[in-house]
Structure 1
């Protein structure tokens, strides 16, 4: 394309709209509309490559949250081990803490294991917390931080989350850094303000962006069955990349993978994955179903465009 959506977003990102307009007349079926109107280019990429704005590998994470038993997780791992997965994807699963060893000892090397949370500093007298050092002791490579359930149910603040990310990165873990707005914030035209504020908390704290994957998860779409349209998700992802370019560096912006989360499933992942700035997914409920999670992983094939 002659101009990227990220460059089109370079002016006026923070101007709220008085109402939530759809991105084009074809998206009126969506229950939730974007607060900005963007021109949609009719031109298509002509490259026979993976069409991603980010330069990293497609990334799909499965967040199992507080779900599972020994038996159900054994079956899930068996399903994943037998699934045929596209090679050009980094795949991570995040079981509950008590099942990390079980998963780590039984899942294929093709899939890495993540934690769902970690403490802000070295372990000690912090009842109920898990330290980064303990996670590393179990061979964990990633941790999910800033998830909306930690923000809005547990009450974690932006600055605290930023410090947790900084400590995990310093100690060698990769961080899946979650951001996203509430429904009332989207309706008030504050989507970008909220996401940028959360991004700034990471940027103010982290030593490097080399091992960070940003997960944009609109809170109104998590576990509700209401998915941001591909155009809505692309709009925010492009804005995030633009923010990184302006506020972090021109080198970090294209390298950082920005993945989407919010009721992603086998039926919608291929359309979402077609968007240039959507570099993968963070999946909740659908990641508990091995065959469906494999389908989502394999949606990377929709990134490939014909010459």
Structure 2
């Protein structure tokens, strides 16, 4: 069960996201939102219409101190606590997790197999998708005061700065010391938001010229290397902070994913030229301006104090 609280309008390719969920019947999604527009929700995606204010109250009542949850983006710090916050919704599930909506799934079960689920307590570690075993020890993991954590949940829940508490590298050490099992393998295409062309953030699979194809539930990458075209398959693609153009002509069951737009499968033509065309980098002015604004806002919300705490714990 993937839990997604999302407030505001869904992005323009949200239906493509839902279609990719539908192709993964072994998994369920639970969405809390105030966007009541008509979408074709598949049977494994359960939507609850609510407001951000009601969710704020729900979370506030779970803690004995005054939390800060002033905007929806701040929910990123609460992701690791979703198993505790939404526990009545996940009673019948062996695993719970979270994911973003600016992504498209391939065949999840091909990568996250029953064997991997049986043998591990945490699957992956990034904020765009992580799974946890549904048990009290794991669901309260966020309350741990392990010495490796340079801030605790009380700090993360009481600052306006988005600490990305769920993605802390020290959680790996915490889980190891607690004898909890984890599987962290880069099975995803996490596309960098700092480059116009598609460049992967993580892993040893970075290619200069690459595009993706989603076809009937299978996500494939095509890339050029030494004049040859290669293909590989991925669990999901994460299009973080990208405004994507959705062409009216695309078939929802097969389309190309290229820098900043989805295009019809039939438009590929000569594959080598097609890949080469979308492998050209461009000056990404809008992203550069947006990044400057992010930095200034982060400073105002407490980013400097957060970084000082991190430096101090590393120097000990």
What range is the shorter-chain TM-score in? under 0.3
Q: Which entry has the higher C-alpha Rg, 1 or 2?
A: 2
> More helix by proportion, 1 or 2?
1
Higher relative contact order (CA 8 A, sep 6+): 1
Q: Please report the TM-score for the alignment, with normalisation by the length of structure 2.
A: 0.27
Q: Please report the TM-score for the alignment, with normalisation by the length of structure 1.
A: 0.28
> More strand by proportion, 1 or 2?
2
